[in-house]
Chain A
Amino acid sequence: MNQETKKGTLHPLSLLAEEAYKVFSDMGFEIAVGPEMESEWYNFDVLNVPKDHPARDMQDTFWIKEKKDYVLRTHTTSVTARAIEQAGKEGRVPCAFVSIGKVFRNEATDATHEMQFYQIDGAMVGEDISIADMKGVLTHFYKKMLGEETVIEFRPSFFPFTEPSIEVFAKFKGKWLELGGSGMLHPNVLRNLGLDPAKVQGFAFGHGFDRIAMVRWGIPDVRFLYQGDLRLNQF
C-alpha cells in the first residue's frame, strides 16, 4: 500500500505545553528548562525554605541515595530560580521566564495524586513588577487555557519563597478551582539569586499543569497521563 504516512498523535500534556509556552512567549517570557535531579540548594535553600522545614522530610521529598544532598525536584521553581540567577549574571534584568516540567512528591497515588506530575512555573522580575502584573499575566494565561469567560481570583496564602503569598483560583464552569501558589519573590530569594531586593522585585507562580489539562478536557484520573496508553491522545 502506498499511502502517505498518517501523522502520529500528541500527548495531551505536550499539546497543552506548546499552547502555554506560546501564550507566555507572546507576553515576552523566555522558556527555561532545568534538571529533574536537583541540588538541595536550588530546590530548597535558594527559595528560603527553612533548614528544618517539613517539606524537606523524606516523607515528602525524594532524596537521592547515590548523590548526597540531591533531590528529585519538588517544583519547577528551581528552574526559574536558576534562570533568574543566570539572567542577573548576564545583566539581563528585567527578565521573565516560564518553565513547564516534571516534578516529584513522595506520596501515595490516587485519582488526583501522582508521585510525578507536571508543573508550570513562571516569574517576572523588574524594578516595579507587582501583584497587579501577576494578576494581568495569570488572567491572560488562564483565559487562553480555559476559555475567555474564565475568571481568576487571589486569596491569602503562605509559601517560604514569596511575600506576600497568594493562592490562585479560577472560576471554570461555575466552580472555583485551586490552581496553585504564587506571590512576590521573597527578598531573601532575590538576594540568594544575586539580585538586590532594594532595586528589583518580582512575582513568581508555580501551578499544577496536569490539573489544567484535567480540568480543560475532563480527564478524571491523573494516572492516565503516565500509563503510556495511546487512548489518552484524543486531542
Chain B
Amino acid sequence: MLISYNWLKSYIPEALDADKLTDIFNYHLCEMESLEKLPDGDTVFDIKVLPNRAHDLLSHQGVARELASLLNVKFVDPISKYKIPESKPTKLEIKIGVDKCRRYVGRIVRSVKVGPSPEWVVKHLESVGQRSINNMVDAANIVMFDCGQPTHVFDLNKMNNAIVVREAKEGESLTTLDNKEVRLKSSNMVIASPSPLPGEGRGEVLAIAGIKGGKIAEVDNNTKDIILEVANFDPTSVRKTAQAVNIVTDAKKRFENDLSPELCSYAMLEFSALIMEMCPEAVFEDMVDVYPQKQEVKKLSFSTGKISKILGLNVSVEEIRDILKRYNFEFVENSGKFTITVPSMRLDLVIEEDMAEEVGRILGYDKVKVKISKINFQPKQNETYAKILWARNKLLNDGYSEVMNSSFRNTGEVSVLASASDKNFLRTNLSDGLKESLKLNQTNMPLLGLSEIKIFEIGTVFKKSGEEMHVAYADKKEIKEMKLDEFGREGNSSLLSEEGVGGGDSKFKLWSLFPFIARDIAVWVPEEVESSKVYKVIKENAGDMVIRGPELFDEFKKGNQISYAFRLVFQSFDRTLTDQEVNDIMTKITNKIKENIGWQVR
C-alpha cells in the first residue's frame, strides 16, 4: 500500500520526519518495504499492511490515526473543514435483495460538470501511483485512498433512478469500464437496474458489486447527473466473485479484507464534500441509506495480569491506560481489569489476546527480556527419527554419501490438482531419482575426486495406499530400496552421532557451470625422489584453471625407479575450456618435467 507522507502530514502535522518513520512502522505496526523521495518533495512509503489491519489501514486516514496514537501527536479531524451540502428530497430508490450487501448508501447529485480535477487532487493521486481521469472518478478514488472506503459514480441519465443489489442471473453479462466482457454466474453479486416492468427499464447489470463498474452507466464528459454509491459487501463473496471473473481492483482488495459498514457514513460525507468543492453549482439530493445489517457495538474485556503473562513482560495498569487514551478507546478500568468499547473500524480486536498484541507492539517487543522456562516435561525418543539417524550413519560409514532429490515426478500414483511446474506427480520410489543422481555424479567423478559413486537418500514416497518413508542406496552395481523400518533392523545406535557434526563456519564453494577436463600424468623418477617434488613441478606449471589436483592417485616401483601418477582437473568459471588449451598446459608440464635429469613422462 502506497502512502504519501504529505497526505499523512495533512492529518498529523507534528509527525516525525519521513526518514524516521521507517523504524516506527517496522517495529510497531507493519513492514515498510520501501521509501521513495519524489521530485516534488513528497516521500512515498510502500507499507505491507497486515491482513488483520486491512480493515482500517488501507487508507491515509487510517495510517495517520495509527501514527498519531503511536507517536502521541495530534490528529486533525477533517470533518470540520468539509462543506456539508444542503440537500433536497430525492426519488432515488435502493433495494437490497441479498444478505451479502450489508449497507448501501446512495445519493443523486444533479448538474455536475465533468472536467479536470483541482491540482491537489491530481498530486495526491499521482503520489500513490494513480492517474487523474476526471473530477468525478478522481473524487471516488480520493475517498478510497483517504478513508479506505471504495465508492462508485454512475451516470444517472444512462439508468433509472433505482438500484437493486442482487445475485446475477446465470449467463448474464456485463462490459466493464475497461471494456472487458464478463459472463456472470448466479453466485456473483451485482448492482443492477430493477427488473423490467412492462414498458419500462431493462434490468441491466450496472456493476459487479465491490469489484468493477460497467460501461453502461459510465460517467463521461457529457454527464450531468450522477448517483454516488457508497456500500458495504461481504468479503468472501467479493473475493470469490473477483476470482471467478478474474478482475483485481483496489476496491476488491479492500472489500475482501472486510470493512466496517459504519465507514459508509463518513465516506459519503467526504465524497459529497469533494464533489461540492469541484462543482459548487451542483444540486445535492438527500442520501438514501439502506442498512439492514447494522454493525454491533462490541465490548472487550482484558486484564493487566493476563496481558503481562502473555507478553512475559510486567505491564502496568498505567501503561495500558496511557495506550488506550492515546488510541481514543472508550474504556472503564477496575483494579487492573479493563473493558473497552471496540472502535467500529477495529474489526481485529475480538479477544483478550488481541489486546496483548496491541499492547506488545505499541510498547515494542524489544521491551521483552529473554527467558527460558524450565518445564516439567520428559522428552521421549522419536522412533522414526532414531531410525533415520541410524540408517544415515550406517550408510555414511559404509561409504555412501547423502543426496536429496525432488518429491515431484512426471509419473506416479498420487498427483496434485494444480502445479506451477510441469511435474504433477509425487514420487513412488527414491530409486528413479537416485538413478539420475548417480549419473550426474558419475560424470563429475574427477571433480569430486572420487573413483566410485556411492549415494543414498532417505525420504518419503507416495503410493496409492499412502505415504511411506524409504531408504535407497546406489552404487555402480545396483540400487537397493526398502522401507525405513526394514533397513538394518539389527541396529540400535545412539540417537545423536557422538562425534558431533562438523559444519562450522566454512563457506560454500560454488561450482562452475562449464564443463571440466580431466588429465592424468604419470612420471618415472629415480626412487629417491619424493612425490612432493614431482607435485611441485606440476602444480607450478598447471596454471590457474586447475579446479582440483594435482592428486597423486597411483605409485609403484620398478627396479630403482618409481612411477607417480597425478590427476589434474581443469575448469573455468566463465567459459568452456578447449582441449587445445589444456593440451598446451600439459605439454608445458611435460617439458618442465623433462628438464629434470632422470625424470621421464610415461
Contact = CB atoms under 8 A, between A and B. Distances in A.
Contacts of A94: 375-377
A115 to B, nearest CB: 6
A184 interface: yes
Contacts of B371: 130, 132-133, 135-136
B236 A131 contact: no
B356 interface: yes
A50 to B, nearest CB: 9
Interface in A1-15: 5-15
B410 to A, nearest CB: 14
Contacts of A235: 502-504, 506
B311 A130 contact: yes
Contact of A65 (B416, B436, B503): B416
A155 B27 contact: yes
Interface string A153-192: 1111110000111110000000000000000101100000
A10 B370 contact: no
B366 interface: yes
A130 B309 contact: yes
Contact of B310 (A8, A106, A130): A130
A24 B313 CA distance: 24
B384 A228 contact: no
A230 B401 contact: yes
B400 interface: yes
Interface in B503-556: 503-511
A8 B450 CA distance: 11
Contact of B497 (A11, A18, A155): A18
A19 to B, nearest CB: 6
Contacts of B453: 230
Interface stretch (B195-203, B286-294, B418-426): B418-426
A157 B357 CA distance: 10
Nearest to B425: A65
Interface string A1-41: 00001111111111110110110010111111101110000
A105 to B, nearest CB: 9
Contacts of B455: 8, 228, 230
Contacts of A196: none
Contact of A104 (B380, B407, B440, B496): B407
A207 B426 CA distance: 24
B416 A62 contact: yes
Question: Which of B404, B462, B464, B466 is packed against the most chain A CB atoms within 10 Å?
Answer: B404
B336 interface: no
B353 A129 contact: no
A231 B511 contact: yes
B405 A131 contact: no
A63 B418 contact: yes
B409 interface: no
Contacts of B79: none
A225 interface: yes
A6 B403 CA distance: 17
A21 to B, nearest CB: 7
Contact of B405 (A32, A184, A228): A228
Contacts of A36: 407, 460, 462, 467
A91 to B, nearest CB: 11
A164 B357 contact: yes
Interface string A90-126: 0010111000001010111100000110000000101
Nearest to B382: A31
Interface string B427-445: 0000001101100110010
A63 B406 contact: no
Contacts of B448: 230-231
B29 interface: yes
B30 to A, nearest CB: 7
Interface stretch (B81-89, B136-144, B296-304, B391-399): B391-399
B246 interface: no
A226 B356 contact: no
Interface string B360-402: 1100011011111111111111101100010010011111111
A231 to B, nearest CB: 5
Contacts of B441: 228-230
Given A62-B417, A158-B52, A14 B353 contact: no
Contacts of A158: 50-53
Nearest to B460: A36
A180 B414 CA distance: 30
A11 B458 CA distance: 11
B296 to A, nearest CB: 20
B415 interface: yes
Contact of A5 (B50, B382, B399): B399
B89 to A, nearest CB: 42
Contacts of A132: 311-313, 368-371
B375 A115 contact: no
Contacts of B27: 155-156
A63 B503 contact: no
A140 interface: yes
Given A13-B404, A33-B382, A231 B447 contact: yes
B377 A37 contact: no
Contacts of B236: 52
A184 B356 contact: yes
Contact of B379 (A25, A153, A165): A25
A89 interface: no
Interface string B102-124: 00000000000000000000000
B583 interface: no
A16 B503 contact: yes
A229 B433 CA distance: 11
A22 B420 CA distance: 36
B380 A30 contact: yes
B456 interface: yes
A92 B377 contact: yes
Contacts of A163: 351, 353-354, 356-357
A14 B395 CA distance: 13
B26 A155 contact: yes
Nearest to B457: A228
A36 B468 CA distance: 10
A216 B503 CA distance: 9
Contacts of A30: 377, 379-380, 382
B575 to A, nearest CB: 19
Nearest to B424: A65
B320 to A, nearest CB: 15
A128 B313 CA distance: 12
B415 to A, nearest CB: 5
A65 B382 CA distance: 31
B434 A129 contact: no
B212 interface: no
A52 B50 CA distance: 17
A217 B506 CA distance: 6
A141 to B, nearest CB: 10
7 contacts: A31-B385, A66-B415, A102-B407, A115-B420, A186-B353, A219-B508, A228-B436
Interface of A: 5-16, 18-19, 21-22, 25, 27-33, 35-37, 52, 54, 58-59, 62-67, 72, 92, 94-96, 102, 104, 106-109, 115-116, 124, 126, 128-133, 135-137, 139-140, 147, 153-158, 163-167, 184, 186-187, 201, 216-220, 225-231, 233-235
* A-B pairs, 8 with minimum CB distance: A132-B312, A130-B312, A228-B437, A164-B357, A30-B379, A154-B365, A8-B401, A136-B372
Given A64-B414, A184-B310, A226-B405, 6 more contacts: A10-B392, A64-B417, A92-B378, A131-B365, A133-B372, A225-B404
